[in-house]
Structure 1
Amino acid sequence: MKDTIVLYPALCSGHLMSMVELGKLIVTQHPSFSITILILTPPNKNTSNKDITLSPQEHYIASISATFLSFNFHYISPISSPTTLLTYFITFEISPQRNHHVDNILQSISKTTNLKAVILDFFTYSAYQIAKKLEISTYFYYTSGAVGLATFLHLPILHQNAKKRIQDPHMPLRIPGLFVPNGTTLTILSIGPLITSSYGGDGNGCLRWLDLQPSKSVVLLSFGSMGRFSKAQLKEIALGLEKSEQRFLWIVRSELDSEELNLEDLSLEGFLERTEENEMVIRNWAPQGAILSHDSIGGFVNHCGLNSVLEAVYEGVPMVAWPLYVEQRLNKVILVEEMKMTLELNKSKDGFVSGIELGDRIKELMDSYKGNESRQMIFKTKICSKEARDQNGLTEENEKDTGEIDNDGYS
C-alpha cells in the first residue's frame, strides 16, 4: 500500500498554505509518499448548494490539486455557530467539535494506505488523542516563528514558578489544545522557513497594474486572512494613505464576512477618485507572494504574521509593523528592535492607529534615512536567506530534519 501522511491545519488560510508548503517539502524528500490534507469548513457554510463562484481558498486548493497529483484534500463538514466571523477563539473551538469526523477519516485512510504519520497544527491539537488511540505517529507543526514557540513552551514553567494564586481556585487550568500533557520534552525539528508559492493567477489585475508602476514605488498593505478593521480604522487607513502621497496597493477585508465593503460608505467621498492614478484597492484577496516579488513594490505594511514576514524578507521588502494578534507582537519586537529592518507604528491604548501616524510612517519608510537603513538591512537578510537555500528550496538543516518525519513521532 502507498505511504500516506495526513496534515491537519487550522481554519485560517495562512495555516493551510504553510502546511501545503510542508507537504511539498515532504514529498520532495519522499517522492513515494502521498499527502492528505484535512480542511476544516468555516462555521455555517452551506455545502448543499454548490456555487459556481469559488472562494480564494477553493481556487488555491484547486490549483494545488492540479499541480501536485500526490496531494488529496478532504473537507470536514461545518458546524453550526452563532456567527460566521472567524476569530482566534472560534478557531480553537471548531477543531475539538470535529474530532469524531477526524476519527472516521483516519480510520478510512488506514484501510487503503499505510498511514505513516499525522501532523497537527497547534490549533488542532485536540486530535492528538484520536491519533494516539489509532497508534499513529504524531507531530505538531507550529506555523509561527521560533520566538513565539519558545514563549508558549515556557508558559508551564512560568505557571510553576508563579507566587500569586488565581482568585478562583476552581477554574480549570488545563485547557485542551494549549499544552502537551505531563510535561513531556519534545524533539523540535527545524523545518522552515517555508516560503508560500503563488497560485491563482492575476484575476483581479493587480500584477498588470504593478507592471505600469516605477521600480520600488508602491506600498503594499495586507493584514492576513483575519486582518479585519472597524469602519473607523479603515477610514483612518485611507486618510493615511492619501496623506503619504505614495503609490499603494491595499488588500482590504470587510469588518464582517457577510458585509460587502464600500469605501465610499466611510465618509471618504472622492477618496478613490483623488488617488486613482496612484492606487489599487482589492477586496479580500490577492496573490501576496507574487506581489511582493514584483519590482514595483518598495514597502509593506503588514500584521507581522510569519508567512508575510518570510515573504517580505525573502524578497527584500522593508516593512511597517502593525501586529494584531498573539505572537505577531513578538515578531514585531524581533523585526523592529533586534533585526532593525522594520518601522513601528505608534498606537493608542486600544490599538487604534491614526491616519496621520500611518501616513508619516509610510513616508518615513519610502523616503527617509531611517527607511533607507531598514531597506539596506532587509536586503542583506534577503541575500543570506537565498544563499542558505539550495535549488530545491531546502537548507541543509531542514533537509535533514524533514527526513526525520519518516521516523517515529510523538505517540
Structure 2
Amino acid sequence: YIMTSTNNTVDYNNGLTHGRVLNFGAGPGCLPEEVLLEAQQELLNFQGSGKSIMELSHRGKEYSKVHEDAKSNLRLLLNIPENYDILFLQGGATSLFAGIPINLCNGNNDTIDYLVTGAWSKSAYNEAKMYTKVNAVADMESTKFRTVAEPSDWKRSDNASYFYYCDNETVHGVEMPSQQVYDNVPASIPILCDMSSNFLSRPVDVSKFGLIYAGAQKNAGIAGITIVIIRKDLLQKSKPDTPNVFNFLKKSQQNSLDNTPPTFNIYIMGLVLKWLLKNGGLDEMSRLSQTKSHMLYDFVDNSNGFYTCYIDKKYRSRMNACIRIKDGDEAMEEKFFKAAEKHGITDVKGHRSVGGVRVSLYNAITVRGVEVLLAFMKEFMAQNQ
C-alpha cells in the first residue's frame, strides 16, 4: 500500500525532486534525499518485521543490528581507535555543557581551559562555571567573534584537567583549524571538542582528542541524538553520584541502551552514515565542502561590497557562512529573504542574535544547489545595487 499526497507541489527549477526547496538551514539541516526516500519506503514495515522502526523493541534483534551497524560505520568513517567508545545520548548537544564537567571534573579542585570563539563555546564556558573552576584561554567576544587570538596569546592554566573548544561556531561562522589546537595544547591534557556543526564534514584524527561530541542534526541525521566519542580511560572519571542520564561510564556499560534510546533518530543516523560511505567518505565530503564554500566566499568577496563576510579569512567556516548585505542594511536583507523564498531557497536568515544572512553548506547540500543560490544572489544584487 502506497501513501499518496494530494498536495500541489511547486517546481522551483532548482534541480531537486518532489517539489522540495533548497534548505540552507543551520539546523535541523537538510538530509540527503536518498536517505529520506529509503526511510519513507521502510517506514510502515521495517525489513519485513511487520512493524515500523519506531515500534521495534530496542532490545530486539532487528533494532540491535541498526544500533551496531551505526556504531561500526561511524568507527569506519572516522577511523576511531579501539581505545575509544561511542555513546548515543538522548537530547541535544547542549546537555554536554553540564554533562562534561559533571563527569570529568572533581568539583572546584579542578581547573578547565576554554577557548571561547563564539556563542556555543561561550555558553559551554558559562555553564561549566557552575561545576568547577574555568579559565578562558581566550575570549573573542570583544571582536564580535570575527577572529581567533593567536596561540602565543592564549592564557592556558598550568594544570588544566582538560582543554575545551568548539570546532565550528554555527552562529558566528568561525571554524578552528584543528592543527592549531593540537600544536598548542600539551599531549598530557585531554582535548575535548564540540564538533556539532562540522562533524563528518572532513577527516579527523580522533586519537588527538579525549572526547568529541556532536548533535546529529547538521551532517549526521536529525535532532534528538548526540554522539559522544570518548577515550576509554576518561570513562573512569565518571563518579557514582553522576545522574544516570549523564553518566558516561554507565552509558558505555549499557551500550547506550538504557531508558529506551531514540531508536528512530539512530536509524536515520545509520542511513546517513551508509550514504556517506557510499559517496566517498569523509575525504570526498571535505573536498566538496571546500568546493562549495570557496564558490560562495569568492562570489561574496568579489561583489564590490554588496555582500560582505566580516570573519577573518583564516577562520571562515566551511559549514556556516555569515554574510551581510550592504553593510548590514536590515531592510535589504529582509527583502533578500522574501525573494529567496519565492525562488525555493529557504532558511538563509542569520541567527536572531547576530542578524544578517547565514548559508549552511552541510554535506547534503549539492554543488548544484550552491550554483542555484549564487545565480539568485547575482540576480538580486543586479536588481538592488
What TM-score comes out, normalization by structure 1 length? 0.28
More helix by share: 1
